[in-house]
Amino acid sequence: FLYDVSTTTARQVSPPGDGLESTLFDLPADGGRVLYRAETDDDVFGTYGPWDLRVYDAVLDDTIVVASDVGPWGAALSPDGTTVAFSSPSDLLGSNPDGNVEVYLFRVDGSRREQITDTGVGVENSVGGFTDDGGAVVL
């Protein structure tokens, strides 16, 4: 949910049926977009996942699935709300067959999708966030 302090109103960000386990990752200062992870299968009580990375656009009142089946690792939204950096062991682009936790960079509009790390067995990469100007990702 997003709670607007000035109007004292709340609105649901994750669509109904997103699962019990939704986790906020990032909310830029302007509040226009919210990055969160949503569990996509609630069929078995006590199990978690799989998870999608989703961006809720408050202006359009729309939810965009950025990536599916990413796992429970970290993610960050660029300050301008256009790009998501996230960690995942999934082979999302055909370049991670060994299943290491790698960092990916996806534009919300789908125009850019790339794996930006390629590490050896046992190494887990994590995303710390973007720099204030959005020009670099902190790993």
Pick 44 or 122 by higher pLDDT.
122
127-136: pLDDT as tens digits: 888 998 989 9
Residue among 80, 53, 89, 74 at smallest CA distance from 129? 74
**What share of the chain has pLDDT > 90, as a percent?**
35
Per DSSP, the three-state class of 74 is: coil
6-25: pLDDT as tens digits: 888 877 766 655 555 667 77
Query: Are the C-beta atoms of 44 and 62 separated by less than 8 Å?
Result: no
Residue type, 34: V
Residue 81, C-beta contacts closer than 8 angstroms, at least 6 positions apart: 28, 30, 32, 33, 55, 57, 108
If 0-12 CB within 10 Å is exposed, 13-18 middle and 19+ buried, where does residue 78 land?
buried
71-88: pLDDT as tens digits: 878 899 999 999 999 999
- With tokens 């993610």, the residue in question is 75
What length is written for the chain?
Answer: 139
Give me the pLDDT at residue 107, please: 96
The C-alpha atoms of residue 24 and residue 87 are separated, in whole angstroms, by 15
Give me the pLDDT at residue 25, please: 74
Residue among 24, 6, 3 at smallest CA distance from 14? 24
Q: What value does the mean pLDDT take over residues 95-123?
A: 90
